[in-house]
């Protein structure tokens, strides 16, 4: 109990908790869950965008997209490493993912139907992710906070790239503009869902806030995102697919229509358009790579024993 009080005192004084510091088991568990979900999201997040690397319409776009998807893999690596500082092995976490026991961001269960989706993901999905993640750069757990600083830096670059793709399309031919609008129509609502359930329904939040893992509520972050994004859409000359959208005269906030939380629940429950495909892809890569990992382990073991001998 004394330890616990000390711990909370450190948190309250904005001290960073490090891997070897004492921490409550629930704090560790919460972090492992959150960090690993985040890591899984990066790895699964490679897939929808990865589907367009081979079809990117210019070499510049192709290189940028490949680099971006590679960055996501890198983010996954940092994050698994952060989770490992909490004694959760990457292998075990990835097994949970492949067994369908671990969550990842529901947004990646939507398909990338056209090239404009690559723009929309960069603009909206990375935009929402940054909104979620910037406060995490000040998370009480040091290794996570440091990973997030790096991640955020790269993601804001990706977000600008995505916006630039949307701009190019929005200023392009009628077909390109329609493509951009269609992508916006499909990605807008799922992006809003990325901030999680409304505050009235959200679990975990109170404790996470006390521990300074979470610094803003889901609805606060969602509102920030909407307020940032509406003017960007206007700038692009695209229409957000929300007839109820209007600016509050007093606060200046953009009030949005009702989110289809039933859809969100279904996607989380495994019924999104691509859940099955995503897990199947991940499992396939894992299974097809088994012989490689085994061989590498066998070789390393033999090298080690040779050196020992």
Partner 1 sequence: MVTNTISVSETPQVLYALRRADDALILGHRLSECCGHAPTLEEDMALANIGLDLIGQARALYALAALREPSLEGGRANTEDTYAYLRDVGQYRNLLLCELPNGDFGRIIMRQFLYSAFIDPYWRAMMKSSDVQLAAIAEKAEKETAYHLRYTSEWVIRLGDGTPKSHDRMQAALEFLWSYTGEMFDTDEAEAMLQAEGMIIDASAIHDGWRTTVQTILDRATLTLPQSAWMQKGGRSGRHSEHLGFLLAEMQQLPRSEPGAVW
Binding site residues, partner 1, CB under 8 A: 43, 46-48, 50-51, 53-63, 66-67, 69-70, 73-74, 76-77, 80, 111-115, 168-169, 172-173, 175-176, 179, 182, 186, 266, 269, 271, 273-274, 276-277, 281, 284-286, 288-296, 298-300, 302
295 HSE (CA, 13 A, CB side): 5
Nearer to partner 1, 50 or 214 (CB): 50
Of 168 and 253, nearer to partner 1 (C-beta) is 168
The span from the CA of 18 to the CA of 10, in Å, is: 11
Residue with smaller CB distance to partner 1, 251 or 271: 271
Q: Minimum CB separation from partner 1 for residue 194, in Å?
A: 19
Tell the smallest beta-carbon distance from residue 258 to partner 1 (Å): 21
Minimum CB–partner distance for residue 127 and partner 1 (Å): 21
Q: How far is the CB of 278 from partner 1 (least distance, A)?
A: 10
Nearer to partner 1, 164 or 220 (CB): 164
Nearest-angstrom CA–CA distance, 164 and 173: 16
Distance of CA 269 to the CA centre of its chain: 18
Task: Give CA–CA dist 147/35, Å, rounded.
Answer: 10
Residue closer to partner 1, measured from CB, 57 or 198: 57
Long-range contacts, stretch 196-203, CB < 8 angstroms, 24+ apart: 197/261, 197/264, 198/259, 198/261, 201/261
Q: Which is nearer to partner 1, 15 or 182 (CB)?
A: 182
Q: How far is the CB of 43 from partner 1 (least distance, A)?
A: 7
Q: Residue 82 CA to chain centroid, in angstroms?
A: 15
Sequence-ordered alpha helix ranges (H) in the chain: 2-12, 25-50, 59-84, 90-98, 115-120, 126-133, 142-170, 174-193, 205-210, 218-236, 261-266, 275-288, 290-308
Smallest separation (angstroms) from partner 1 to the CB of 72? 9
């Amino acid at each position: 109990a004394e330890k616990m009080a000390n711990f909370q005192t450190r948190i309250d004084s904005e001290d960073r908790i490090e891997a070897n510091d004492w921490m409550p088991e629930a704090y560790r568990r919460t972090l492992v869950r959150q960090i690993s979900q985040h890591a899984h999201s990066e790895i699964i997040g490679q897939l929808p965008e990865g589907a367009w690397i081979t079809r990117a319409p210019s070499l510049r776009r192709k290189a940028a997209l490949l680099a971006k998807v590679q960055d996501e893999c890198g983010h996954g690596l940092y994050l698994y490493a952060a989770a490992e500082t909490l004694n959760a092995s990457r292998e075990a976490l990835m097994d949970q993912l492949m067994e369908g026991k671990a969550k990842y961001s529901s947004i990646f269960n939507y398909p990338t139907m056209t090239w404009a989706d690559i723009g929309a993901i960069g603009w909206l999905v990375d935009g929402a992710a940054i909104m979620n993640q910037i406060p995490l750069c000040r998370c009480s757990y040091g290794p996570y906070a440091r990973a997030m600083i790096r991640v955020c830096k790269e993601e804001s670059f990706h977000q600008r790239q995505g916006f630039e793709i949307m701009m190019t399309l929005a200023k392009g031919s009628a077909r390109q503009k329609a493509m951009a609008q269609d992508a916006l129509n499909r990605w807008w609502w799922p992006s809003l869902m990325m901030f999680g359930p409304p505050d009235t329904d959200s679990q975990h939040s109170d404790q996470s806030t006390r521990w300074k893992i979470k610094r803003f509520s889901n609805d606060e972050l969602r509102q920030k995102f909407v307020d940032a994004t509406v003017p960007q859409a206007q700038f692009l000359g695209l229409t957000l697919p929300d007839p109820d959208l209007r600016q509050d005269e007093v606060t200046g906030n953009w009030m949005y229509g009702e989110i289809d939380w039933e859809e969100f629940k279904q996607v989380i429950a495994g019924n999104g358009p691509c859940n099955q495909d995503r897990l199947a892809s991940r499992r396939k890569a894992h299974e097809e790579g088994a012989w490689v990992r085994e061989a590498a382990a066998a070789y390393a073991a033999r090298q080690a024993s040779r050196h020992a001998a």
